[in-house]
Amino acid sequence: HKYMLPLARVVFALLVGSGAAHVPPSPAELQYLAKLKREHAATHRRQLDTTDYTCGDGAQSAKDAWKVTGTSLGGWLVLEPWLTPSLFYQFLGADVRYGPDIEKIKTKTGMDQKSFCTALGPAEANRQLRHHWSQWVTEEHVAAIARTGSTHVRIPVGDWMWEPYDVYDQVEDGVRCNDGAVDELNRALALCAKHGLKVLLDMHAWIGSQNGLDNSGETKFVVWASKFDSGTSGEMYVPRTAPSHPLFLPSP
């Protein structure tokens, strides 16, 4: 590939320390790399100028150069241990504290949104979540994202925020686990609007778990098995572990 040889020389020169083995890129190689960079930028500009983003139904696309860039506020309203490990350190050693009863160990170990609420109970879980929400996303964070030139922010959300169910609907001392989450979302939306950022709301977690991973709100074993006629778009697959939700059931 035309990029590889000059790039390899440059990388080698950067990685190798001083001494006889040091081989700096030649002026000709540096000039060639600069030429490739200019060609790439020119190709990108041509793609932006010539690509038609007009919808087929007659709606017109924006006249400005089309670009979406930004980041995701992951680990905020939908917990994922790899993003917010500090919230889950407290569950280490549950096997020692609650063993050998495996069922009790499971109920006292948080590894996703649902088990976090289960293990701590609604009141304590809500207390910790409110602190987390207030610190994980602040106005300074949003302003810093805007200063990078970003245009959008993606915010993962869970369906339980609007219609609590199961453990999310349990009340302790007058509160539920995720009480206040919608208010926090509205706070973030207002901050993004203030700093000129658009928002993509991502329904990241769904009742019954759409994939069995922590980012669905519930870590579990999911078997995608049976087909059924959705009544609209042909056959769809239904997860055996969540057959009771209306969206997973065949149309009458």
Q: Cβ contacts of residue 17 below 8 Å, gap of 6+?
A: none
Distance CA 10, CA 23 (A): 9
Please state which of the ranges 57-66, 95-104, 139-148 shows the lowest mean pLDDT.
Answer: 57-66
Q: pLDDT (tens digit, 9 = 90+) per residue, 116-138?
A: 999 999 999 999 999 999 999 99
User: Left (φ > 0), alpha (ψ -120 to 50) or beta: where does 16 sit?
Assistant: beta
pLDDT of residue 235: 52
pLDDT of 49 strictly over 80: no
On the question of pLDDT at 78 being above 50, the answer is yes
What pTM was estimated for this model as a whole?
0.65
Peptide bond into 243 cis (omega under 30): no
Per-residue pLDDT band at 143 (split at 50, 70, 90): very high
Residue with tokens 């083995």, as numbered in its chain = 21
Confidence of residue 66 (pLDDT cuts 50, 70, 90): low
Most confident of 8-17, 26-35, 59-68, 91-100: 91-100
Q: Would you state the pLDDT for residue 87?
A: 95
- With 0-12 / 13-18 / 19 or more C-beta atoms within 10 angstroms meaning exposed / middle / buried, residue 76 is buried
